[in-house]
Structure 1
Amino acid sequence: MAASYISVPRDLTKVKSKVMFNLTKRQLICFSVAALIGVPSFFLIKQIASTSTAAIGMMVIMMPFFFLAMYEKNGQHLEVILRHLIEATFVRPKERPYKTDNKYAALKRFEEADQEIMEIIMYSEAMRPEKKKGGDDVFDF
């Protein structure tokens, strides 16, 4: 009598629960949507074209749903990969220069601003008219 062995994956996070017909819930939903859109399109195309053209048209219409159901790379589904691709290609700028937060430059800018404020204060005090010695607070004009 020969012994039978069952392979058990080491990483159990990659194991997906099967719902029906050995398909996951995601695959069932995508295949159902593909069938709901593809089969009526076959009959609509068949009215204006030949049967083989209608079959090819139906396959072209259903293929994106099959890719959404089946394709997965590095644990990410097709729509996630496409979103990252669109963001990298169209949304984000092509050149992203590396910018540092230089604390010393910030301190230098603060010191220069502080010095400029002090110069403005000194200038305004120098331009202010002097008070009379008599004690009243009336300006000389």
Structure 2
Amino acid sequence: MAYVSVPKDLTHVKSKMLFGLTKRQIVCFGAALLMGLPLFFMLRGSVPTSAAALVMIFAMLPGLLFGLCEKHGQPLEVVIGQIIRNRFTMPKARPYQTNNLYAVLERQRQMEMEVKAVVQKAKRRQAGKAVPRRKAGDTSHYQKV
């Protein structure tokens, strides 16, 4: 009896159109052929055939790579775009930042204490119990009696 394995996740199965190739592969290979063959026939008369074939291979290579290469289910142009974005357009250092609620509350408490001290000092001055100030030339830390 014939046994056929069926994958559990059918989203990774790609539909084949022609010769076991997907639509994407057919388009990429066709574009590579449209670039490489005319280049070969134009160069064949002026340079040796082996050099023309080598130029044709290098001209067709990007089309073949875009048709065949995938990484983690993503096509090659998406992978190249991510590499370019991460290497050149994104900032190199990404500092870790959090919204620390405790630090915000601590700053708020400190500000409230400062305001409270200023208000109490103003109330003491209004009541006539103002703290005497030092004179301009006095550098001592203690009051003179």
Q: Percent identity, aligned pairs only?
A: 46
Alpha-carbon distance in structure 2 between the residues aligned to 1:80 and 1:45: 33
2:59 is aligned to 61
Alpha-carbon distance in structure 2 between the residues aligned to 1:93 and 1:6: 49
- 4+ runs deviating over 6 angstroms: none
Alpha-carbon distance in structure 2 between the residues aligned to 1:48 and 1:88: 43
State the Cα RMSD in Å.
Answer: 2.4
Is 1:17 the equivalent of 2:15? yes
1:78 is aligned to 76
Alpha-carbon distance in structure 2 between the residues aligned to 1:6 and 1:98: 50
Q: Which one scores higher on RCO, CA 8 angstroms, separation ≥ 6?
A: 2
**Contiguous gaps of at least 5 residues in structure 2:** 119-145
Deviations 1:50-94 (A, max 9, x none): 111111111111111111111112111111111111111111111
Amino acid at match of 1:92: M
Alpha-carbon distance in structure 2 between the residues aligned to 1:46 and 1:35: 16
Deviations 1:10-44 (A, max 9, x none): 22111101122221110111011001111111112
Amino acid at match of 1:82: I
Amino acid at match of 1:73: K
TM-score (normalised: structure 1): 0.70
Secondary structure class of the residue paired with 1:48: coil
Alpha-carbon distance in structure 2 between the residues aligned to 1:71 and 1:83: 14
Amino acid at match of 2:34: L
The one of 44, 47, 51 aligned to 2:45: 47
**Contiguous gaps of at least 5 residues in structure 1:** 120-141
